[in-house]
Copies of this chain bind each other. A is one copy, B any other.
Amino acid sequence: MIKAGIIGVTGYTGIELLRLLQQHPNVKVTHVFTESYSDQEIAEVYPHLKNHVQLKGEKLDLDAINKNCDVVFISLPHGHAEKIVAPLLQAGKKIIDLGADFRLKNAKDYQQWYQHPAVAETLLQQAVYGLPEQGNRAAIAAATLIANPGCYPTASILATLPALNAGIIDPQQCIFDAKSGVSGAGRSLALQTHFCEATENLTPYQIAGVHRHVPEIEQQLSTAAKNSITIQFTPHLIPMIRGLLVTAYFKLNKAMTQTEVQTIYQTAYQNETFIRICPAGKAPQVKQVRGSNYCDLGIYVDQRTQRLIVISVIDNLIKGAAGQALQNMNLMYGLVENTGLINNVGMYP
């Protein structure tokens, strides 16, 4: 059994990770850490886990991790991971960081977008961006430190890569109109996530390229294109708990048929367990991936405008966070990629 710890377990991502890990046939969660609820039974804080989790929240304790964990998941706000990661790596632990601190390879970019110094350069270079479907499974398998992608980047990058790699779109004209459920904003209290403010509402935010997921998407697309790419990205808060949908607009380089583009996407992802391409003419809805690790894609060619429109949906807490972390862990341990995720079909309705 793989012995796992979770740092930051009582946020929505952390608790979802715990739910998934306790179902995983090869994992035993040995320690869960939380500042807010230390010394409390997790099953009291989150009673849906009663009878399934017999763990108390603890204050962070690196010694306990050193003794009793093989792998550690970190789910903390940005800026907090370095001082935890460095000693644990030295102690030979595998680490999957669900925060932002290791995602941007360029320390200056990190400083600029996060207004906080980046982690040490060696750590930045050591970290592997854990989006298996972009084609770096070998690197993930060999990694000791995974930078788990953000939710918006996951949906946006997966919507783009086949067209970008096939060279059929203008890489400088990508527009991502993104919509996320409220759990993406976390469990900490804020006016915008008050029920009365969020319900019967729809709020765009961080408009005109100021969201911190912008450099992350640009980095990954630029790497794929071997060229610096500038994107347009607008996030919106949607009155639903989970789910994230990106409507991606691409300019086709030449006229193409629906079938041609559909084939490019189907071929690119034909071996992917967690990507499902909708039949031509069908758009995915958020609800069909809720509770699962899938990214479902709908492909549309608009002959009137010569644009390609891709609809990409994920559950922001699973494929956009905890599920993808678990998928990365499976790769790191040589397990079948969907171990512990196979039964997460989602709930409908």
Contacts and interface: CB of A to CB of B under 8 A. Distances in A.
A19 interface: yes
B200 A241 contact: yes
A320 to B, nearest CB: 14
- Determine how many copies of this chain the complex contains: 4
Interface in A299-345: 300-302, 304-305, 307, 309, 311, 313, 343, 345
A77 interface: no
A48 B304 contact: no
Given A48-B290, A187-B349, A197-B287, 10 more contacts: A19-B347, A47-B278, A175-B175, A179-B179, A194-B195, A199-B241, A201-B287, A230-B304, A234-B309, A343-B343
Interface stretch (A102-110, A111-119, A138-146, A203-211): A203-211
16 contacts: A23-B343, A48-B348, A50-B276, A175-B175, A177-B234, A193-B194, A196-B241, A202-B238, A202-B286, A202-B313, A205-B283, A207-B311, A209-B304, A209-B305, A232-B302, A242-B347
Contacts of A189: 189-191, 194
A234 B300 CA distance: 11
A200 B301 contact: no
Given A190-B189, A343-B23, A283 B241 contact: no
A200 B48 contact: no
A51 B23 CA distance: 20
A148 interface: no
B234 A247 contact: yes
A104 to B, nearest CB: 16
A236 B291 CA distance: 21
Interface string A249-286: 10000000000000000000000010010110011111
Interface of A: 12, 15-16, 19, 22-23, 44, 46-52, 175, 177, 179, 181-183, 187, 189-191, 193-205, 207-209, 230-232, 234, 236, 238-243, 245, 247, 249, 273, 276, 278-279, 282-292, 296, 298, 300-302, 304-305, 307, 309, 311, 313, 343, 345-349
Given A200-B290, A288-B47, A241 B195 contact: yes
Nearest to A278: B47
